[in-house]
């Protein structure tokens, strides 16, 4: 399949799951499910959005991936003032809280650490996430939470989008809608939008799009239809200066529940396609490269540093994905810590270490822990 832009080519690789190729030969195979049913991060050298960042290359090994045991966990945080946590796969997995994660947050707060929670899950707004945290026994305030839904709206706010007098087309669920509302950004679309039926060439040819749309905002949309893809694509291709902003480009998420495939007796983790698959359906036909507001893009890190007045040298990133969490931390010069409770497995980490430091390779975390509880010296 011919890719029409560097983003599309890159994103195809991000969503792909392929066996390791020799370091000099980037993988270009189509997606292949991993043995556990979840697409594995492609850790081969390839065209990656952050490739060419010399600071990343100059870090050589990018991180030692030193394994830390609970008895040594507290010491890792001694020189850290702020800890940025991912959520899914770090504090909870599916509907289950990671053991001792509430106690870990309490311990870190008692030691005077500032905590932030930055997630690429755009399914909820900040207010919605407060309820989610409370439901799993975690005490967190709205200002400490930065979901990708919030990041997309904050990005539009940062470029003074409202001053254009334009509206956004929201191809996302209520989480992103609520954040657009909170930021006072006018929009059409969202969960209750009844888009025109565009199921034929004649209907698409006769479509009249809203010329006052100045941005297409894409997040997770469980109601994504061909008609929505067509409408969004027409806006991006035909409206001068129309922005393409996405919450994230994560290809899948682990639901954290074992299943059995009818043709295989081995337990499998069920994979849920998420926002990245929806972004690709619009990016590919338009040839447009979006602004990624959440983790995986270049906007979020400086925004976090400025908004929360953080010192990168005294900030740590704790996350389970090499391609978003550890990238965010490594490119910002943060201490990076990866628990083994989420997407990236120890086997995948070992594969990534084989090509670490090469241009385009994924970064390696400084430390690896069994669970987030290690940071409080807990099992």
Mean per-residue pLDDT for 16-22? Answer: 29
Residue of higher predicted confidence among 34 and 369: 369
Q: Residue 328 pLDDT more than 90?
A: yes
Q: Residue 1 pLDDT more than 60?
A: no
pLDDT band at 264 (very low <50, low <70, confident <90, very high): low
pLDDT band at 266 (very low <50, low <70, confident <90, very high): low
**The model's pTM:** 0.82
The Cα–Cα gap between 318 and 314 comes to 13
pLDDT band at 265 (very low <50, low <70, confident <90, very high): low
pLDDT tens-digit series, residues 163-220:
999 999 999 999 999 999 999 999 999 999 999 999 999 999 999 999 999 999 999 9
pLDDT band at 257 (very low <50, low <70, confident <90, very high): low
Residue of higher predicted confidence among 317 and 255: 317
Residues of the chain above pLDDT 90, percent: 73
pLDDT band at 149 (very low <50, low <70, confident <90, very high): very high
- For the chain, the average pLDDT equals 84
The reported pLDDT for the residue numbered 258 is 62
pLDDT tens-digit series, residues 332-375:
999 999 999 998 989 999 999 999 888 889 999 999 999 999 99
Domains and CATH numbers, the chain: 6-120+298-376 (3.40.50.1000), 150-292 (3.40.50.1000)
**CA nearest to 222, candidates 294, 149, 168, 274:** 274
Q: Residue 157 pLDDT more than 60?
A: yes
Residue of higher predicted confidence among 94 and 56: 94
**Which residues form the catalytic set?**
81
pLDDT tens-digit series, residues 92-118:
987 889 999 999 999 999 999 999 999
């Amino acid at each position: 399949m011919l890719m029409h832009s560097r983003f599309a080519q890159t994103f195809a690789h991000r969503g792909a799951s392929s066996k390791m190729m020799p370091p000099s030969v980037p993988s270009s195979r189509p997606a292949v499910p991993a043995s556990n049913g979840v697409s594995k991060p492609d850790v081969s050298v390839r065209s990656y959005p952050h490739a060419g960042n010399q600071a990343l290359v100059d870090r050589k090994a990018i991180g030692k991936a030193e394994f830390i045991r609970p008895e040594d966990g507290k010491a890792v945080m001694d020189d850290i003032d702020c800890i940025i946590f991912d959520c899914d796969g770090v504090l909870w997995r599916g509907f289950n809280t990671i053991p001792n994660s509430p106690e870990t947050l309490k311990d870190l707060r008692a030691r005077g650490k500032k905590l932030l929670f930055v997630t690429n899950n755009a399914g909820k707004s900040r207010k919605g996430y407060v309820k989610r945290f409370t439901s799993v026994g975690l005490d967190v305030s709205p200002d400490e939470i930065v979901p990708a839904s919030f990041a997309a709206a904050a990005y539009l706010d940062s470029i003074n989008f409202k001053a254009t007098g334009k509206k956004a087309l929201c191809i996302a669920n209520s989480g992103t809608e609520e954040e657009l509302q909170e930021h006072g950004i006018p929009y059409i679309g969202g969960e209750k939008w009844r888009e025109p039926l565009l199921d034929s060439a004649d209907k698409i040819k006769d479509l009249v799009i809203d010329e006052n749309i100045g941005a297409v905002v894409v997040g997770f949309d469980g109601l994504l239809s061909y008609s929505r893809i067509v409408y969004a694509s027409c806006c991006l291709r035909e409206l001068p200066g129309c922005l393409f902003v996405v919450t994230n480009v994560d290809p899948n998420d682990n639901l954290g529940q074992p299943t059995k495939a009818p043709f295989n007796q081995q337990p499998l983790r069920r994979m849920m396609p998420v926002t990245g698959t929806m972004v690709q359906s619009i990016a590919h036909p338009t040839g447009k490269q979006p602004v990624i507001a959440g983790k995986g893009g270049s906007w979020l890190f400086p925004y976090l540093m400025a908004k929360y007045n953080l010192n990168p040298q005294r900030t740590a990133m704790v996350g389970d994905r090499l391609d978003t969490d550890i990238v965010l931390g490594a490119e910002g010069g943060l201490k990076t810590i990866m628990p083994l409770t989420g997407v990236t497995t120890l086997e995948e980490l070992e594969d990534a270490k084989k090509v670490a430091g090469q241009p385009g390779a994924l970064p390696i975390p400084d430390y690896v822990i069994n669970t987030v509880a290690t940071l409080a010296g807990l099992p």
